[in-house]
Chain A
Amino acid sequence: MTPSPDGCGPCDADPSRRTRLEVQKLSELPPMSAVARQFLEAIEDPDLEVRQMATIVAQDPALLGRLVGVANSAYFGFPEPIVTAEDAIFKVLGLNMAKNLTLSIVLSGPFDAERCRAFRPDTYWANAMTVAILAQRLAPMITVNPRPSTGDAYLAGLLHSIGVLALVHLFPGPMTEVWRAHAAGAGRLVQLEREKLGTDHCDVGGWLARKWRLPAQVVAVIERHMGDAPGGEHRTLVSLIRHCLSWTQALEAGTGEVSMLDLAELGIDAATVLRVTAQVSQRREAIRRLSQTLAYG
C-alpha cells in the first residue's frame, strides 16, 4: 500500500494512529479456550438457563465485554447502563440472541497463546478475575458517594486491562518483545508498550470499550486504572479498581507480606478490608489453578 499524499493515510508514520485503526477494525476478541469449550458444551443443552450462560460468559473478559456492549446499544433503548451478563441476556438480548452472538465469537477460535509466547494468559486471567472478585466484594462496603454497584465493580475489574488482550491479539510480535522486556525489568508495561507501538493498553482498551459501547464508568476505569491519581467522573470506581489492582499485583509478586490495602479514602475501615482480602487470598490458589485450566485447557 502506498502512503497517501498527505501522510495521513493508513500507512502513515504515526504508530498510535495505525494501532487505533487496527483496533477500530476489531469487532471482537477471542475468548479463553476453556471458557469457549464450556460454552460449546453448555449450548448443546436445550434447557440452558440464563443464569448458567451468564456464569460462563462472566468468566471471560472478551465475551463479557462484547455481550454487555451490545446490550448497551441505543437500539435496545434500555434506560440504565447494563453491567452484568445476566442483565444483558435476561433484560435486553434474550437467550437466543445472546447464544448466537457468543457462539459466533467462540467459533472464531479460542485465544491463541502460541502467537505471543511471552504473554501468559493464565496470569492475565487470574489477575483480571482476582481484581474483579475483590472489587465486587468491597463495592457494597464503600461509604462515599457515588458508590459503584457490585455489577459495575465486577465488570470494571474483569475488563480493566482488556487493552492488553487486544494488543496481544493484534500485534503478537511486538507484544512478545514488550513482555520479554517487562519480565526482564526493563520498565513499566505501559511505557514499554508506548515505545513499541506508540500507544498503551489503557488507550487501546478505551478505544475498544467505546467501540463496544461499554458503559462510561467502565471506559473510565479502563482508561485511568494506571498513571496519575484519578479525579473526575466515576472516581470512586476508578479508585476502587486501582487499589484492588495494586493489591493483586503485590499478591502475585509473592514477595512475602502483602502490604495492607488502605481503603480509608473510600470509607472502608481496616478490619473490613482485612476480612475481605483474607477471603480472597484464600480463594487465590483456586483461582490460579482454574486460570491455568481455562487458559491452556
Chain B
Amino acid sequence: MGYKTDWFRGIYPALVTPFTRDDRLDEEAYRRLIRYVLPHVNGVVPCGTTGEFSYMTIEERKRAIEVCLDEVNGRVPVLAGTGCPSTRETVQLTEWARDAGVTGVLVVAPYYLKPTFNEVYDHFRALDKLGVPIVIYNIPQCAGTHFRWWTAEGMLLDLENVVGIKDSSGDMPFLEALFEKVKGQVGIFVGHDEIVQAALAAGCDGAILASANLIPDIWQVIYRATLEGDLATAQEWQAKIQKLVRIVATCGPTQAVKEGLEMMGIPVGVSRHPILRGGSFRREDYEELRMQLEILGKIPPADVVYDLGGREVATRVAATPHTPRRVSGWDLRVGEGFAGPPFHEIAHIDLLIGRRDGPVGRAIARSLAGWGEARGLKVISERPLILLVPTVTIRTGRQRELFYQFAAEGIMMAVRQNIENGFLPEAALDDLALIINAFVHPAASIGRRVMLNNYKATVQALRKAIEGRPTLEQLFEEKAAARHPFRYAP
C-alpha cells in the first residue's frame, strides 16, 4: 500500500531544460534557473514534460538530473522525471535516478502505443520493486491515455512505494474522485496551471507547474494563502495570473516558458525541434505573455533613447533582450499585428509611426485635406496624432459601429497603455504621428472581441514598429515554416 510523505507538498516548478545555441544541455543556464526559483519553491522537477524529457537522450536526462541535484544540494526535494514509453527503459532510468540520490521519481503514463489499464498497472508495479518513491503522472493531452479513478486508485493504494499522483488533465471531477478515494493516504498534486487555486482549495497537497518557472513567488503566495484558509487572497492572485497561465498551459508550454524567461532576463534558449518559435506558442501569444509579465513587473526596466532627428527623448520601459536601447529612423517605422480568433472578429493592423513633420505626418495632413471624409478616415487622438483608416470599405451601420466604436476603442486602449508604460513617452507625443490601418471583417458580430483583438493587434504592431521586429535572424529562422492562412483553397 502506498503512503503519504512529508516532503511531497507545496509548489514544484516543472523546470525547463535550457539548451545552448548549438543544442546542447546548457548547465550554467540550468543552474541560474534553479537559483532563481529555489527561494520560492518546495521542490523541483527536472526532466518533466516542460523539461522536454521526450526530446532528450537518456544520457542527457541523467546529466540534467545530476546538475539539478548538485545545484539544489539537498535544500528541497528533487522529483525527477524518469518516464519512458517502455517499462524496460523506465526501470533502467529510475534505478539510475534512485542511485543518484533523487528524492522521488515522477513517472508519466507510458505513452504513444496506448497500453491498456492493466498494462499500465504492471508498468508501475515493475517500478515499485525499485524502492524509490514514485509519483504517477496523468497527462492525457500528451500521453494519450487518461487514468480513470479506479485505475489510479489501484496503483495508488496497491503499490507500496507510490507516494502520490500528479494530475495535469485539468479534469476536476477526476480530482474530486481521487479526494473521495485516496485523500490522506497519498499525495495528490495538480499539474494544470489554470485550475490550481480551485484544486488546492478542494484538497490538493500541491502543484507541479510549468508556469512556476516564471512566477514561483506568486504560486507560493497562492499556496500559503490557501493553507491559511485565506481563499480571497488565493482567488485574487489566481485571477491576476490567469491569462498568463492559460497561455502557458494551452499554447505550447515549453516554448512559452522559455521565451517568457528570456523576456525576464533569464535566458534558457529555445525548445528543441520540432517545436519552433511562432509555432504552437504563436507570435500573438508571445506578445500577450510579454504584456502579462510586464503587468506583473517581471520584466526588468531599461533606459531607451528615441532619436527623433534633431532631438532625443529618453524613456524607461520594460525591455526584453530584443528591445533596442536606441531607436532612430523615425521618418517611417512599420509594424503589423494580428489577433484572433474568432474568425470574423480577427483584427489585423498595419501601423506606421513617425515624426509629424515626416512622411507619416504629411500623409495624414494630405489625406484629411483631401479624401479623409469620403474614405472614412478619422483622427482618434491628437497626442500622439493618430489617423484611423478602415482597410475594408465600410458599408453598413453595424460595420460603422464595430469599426469606429469597438475597434477604435481597442486601438486607443493599446495607445493609452503604451503611453503609461513608456513605449510612447509623454515627451515625444507632440512629435509623433501614427497611421493605423485596421481590418474589421464585414461579417464581424461580437463587438467585445473586435475591441480586444484590435487592442492586442495594436500593441503588437506598435511594439514591433518601435523595436524593429521581426529581426532578420528571426525572418531567416522562420521563413520556411511560415504558413499564410489564405494561401490555400478550402
Q: Decide whether A and B are members of one complex.
A: no
Give me the interface of B with A, judged by CB distance under 8 Å. none
Give me the interface of A with B, judged by CB distance under 8 Å. none
